Amino acid sequence: MTAVVLVGSTGMIGEAVARRLTQPDFDPVWLLVRRERGQPHSHHRIRVVDFDNLAAIEDLDLTGDSVICALGTTIRKAGSQAAFQQVDRDTVVRTAQWARALGASHFLFVSSLGADAASRNFYLRTKGEAEHALQSLGFEHLTIVRPSLLLGERSEFRIGERLGMVVGALLKPLLSGPLRRYRPVEADQVAAVLVHQAASPGGPAVNIWESERISRFRPDSR
């Protein structure tokens, strides 16, 4: 049995991960959410958390071998670059620090294709800074997934993202050779990697999954 905590279960990847965390191999399964939505699965245990109050995370008393962090927002939704950084970098890092204190041996983080702390792109730099901070915390296992544009359904409608998915799906067959790394990837495929790794980490202590590798993943592969 693997005890799992999922932080951020309402985004496209988070929802896909939650659907997969109904297997008997995982117990308990804690979902940390901003607010309860609908009837939770009987296998899930829900904790409502104010993610704007970073100290609230540290007060949680849970058990977890693996902590999956699928937190993320957009600059438009956050309202400013500073607010975006608070969610996608600062809250992620504080969550990881809490997970470390909790005794979790494995932290799994949803980053982005092209994440780089030295990038000129604000979004990619923020993701890269989060990755850099996570690697300094000393987890026994750290899994970082870097998906390209995501395909799939989300409960929250975002017009820009929906248009991007349509264009991405049309361009996917044309992206070959060195451009294959930019091919869109199904959110459920990313979730499959996260859940599989949460159950059986394997690989190096810091295991980075680029988007192309995510797309190739099958349950019997690494």
pLDDT tens profile 80-95? 999 999 999 999 999 9
Q: Give this prediction's pTM.
A: 0.88
Does position 177 have pLDDT exceeding 70, yes or no?
Answer: no
Share of the chain above pLDDT 90, in %: 64
Q: Return the bridge partners of 150, or none.
A: 185
Q: Any idea what the Cα angle at residue 21 is, between residues 66 and 93, rounded to 5°?
A: 35
167 has a pLDDT exceeding 70:
no
Task: Give the per-residue pLDDT at 136.
Answer: 97
- pLDDT number for residue 182: 72
Domain ranges of the chain: 2-216
| DSSP code, position 87 | I
H or E segment to which residue 114 belongs? none
In this structure, what token pair is assigned to residue 32?
């940390």
Per-residue pLDDT at 180 exceeds 70: no
Residue 202's SS3 state is coil
Q: Which of 95-104, 115-124, 139-148 has the lowest mean pLDDT?
A: 95-104
Its CATH architecture, for the domain 2-216, is 3-Layer(aba) Sandwich (3.40)
Q: Which residues are catalytic?
A: 123, 127
Is 100 within 8 Å of 138 (Cβ atoms)? yes
**Residue 172 pLDDT class (50, 70, 90 cuts):** low
Supply 48's token pair.
Answer: 């409502």
Residue 155 in this model has a pLDDT that exceeds 80: no
Pick from 107, 102, 192, 181: nearest CA to 149: 181
Query: Which has the minimum average pLDDT: 51-60, 133-142, 211-220?
Result: 51-60
